[in-house]
Amino acid sequence: MMRGGNREMRRMLDRMGLDMKELPNVQEVIIKTDKKEIIIPKPAVTEMKSKDNSIFQIIATSYEEKELETPIFSEEDIMLVSQQANVSAEVAANALKETGGDLARAILLLSTK
C-alpha cells in the first residue's frame, strides 16, 4: 500500500513539474531570524525543485534555539529610519538597537533629539 502511495505522489509531483530528492549527509541547518538562531543538527532534508524555485522540507529530531545578543536589522529598516529621521545609517542602526527594532519609536527618538 505504501509503495503505491509513494508512486502516486511521484507522478503527481512530475505532473506539477517538481523533482523531489533527499539531500544526503546533511550535517546541520541553521535558520536565522532578526532575534534568534535555530540550529538543527543532522536533519532529514528533502528538496522539491521546480524550474523557478526550490522548497526544502526539514525534519528535525532535536534542535537548539539561541537568542541573539544584538538583533539583526534589515537594510530596508535601517534605510527607512535613516531617511525619515535624516541621520546616517549607523545612527539609525543604533536607534533600532535601543528601541528593540521598533521603527516608529526609533524615528521618534531621533526626530526629538
CATH code of the domain in which 48 resides: 2.20.70.30
Task: Please tell me whether residues 39 and 88 are part of one structural domain.
Answer: no
20, 62: one domain: yes
Q: Which residue has the higher pLDDT, 44 or 2?
A: 44
More confident: 101 or 25:
25
Task: Report CA-CA distances (Å) from 88 to 45, 71, 82, 112.
Answer: 42, 19, 6, 16
pLDDT, residue 74, reads: 87
Q: Are residues 10 and 63 in the same domain?
A: yes
> Could you count the other beta carbons within 10 Å of the beta carbon of residue 105?
15
Considering 31, 50, 67, which residue would you say is the last residue of a domain? Answer: 67
**Do 54 and 87 sit in the same domain of this protein?**
no
Sign of CA dihedral 94, 100, 106, 110: negative
Q: Is the same domain home to 9 and 39? A: yes
Domain match, 11 and 50 both: yes
Same domain? For 50 and 79 the reply is: no
The one-letter amino acid code at 75 reads: E
| Confidence class for position 113, pLDDT limits 50, 70, 90 | low
Domain hosting 48: range is: 5-67
d(CA 89, CA 74): 11
How far from each other are the two terminal CA atoms of the chain, in whole angstroms? 70
Residue 76's pLDDT band, with cuts at 50, 70 and 90, is very high
Question: What share of the chain in percent tops pLDDT 70?
Answer: 93
Domain count across the chain:
2
Q: 53 with 14, same domain?
A: yes
**Average pLDDT over every residue of 20-43:** 93
Residue-averaged pLDDT of the chain: 87
Rounded to the nearest 10 degrees, what angle do helices 89-98 and 75-85 cross at?
100
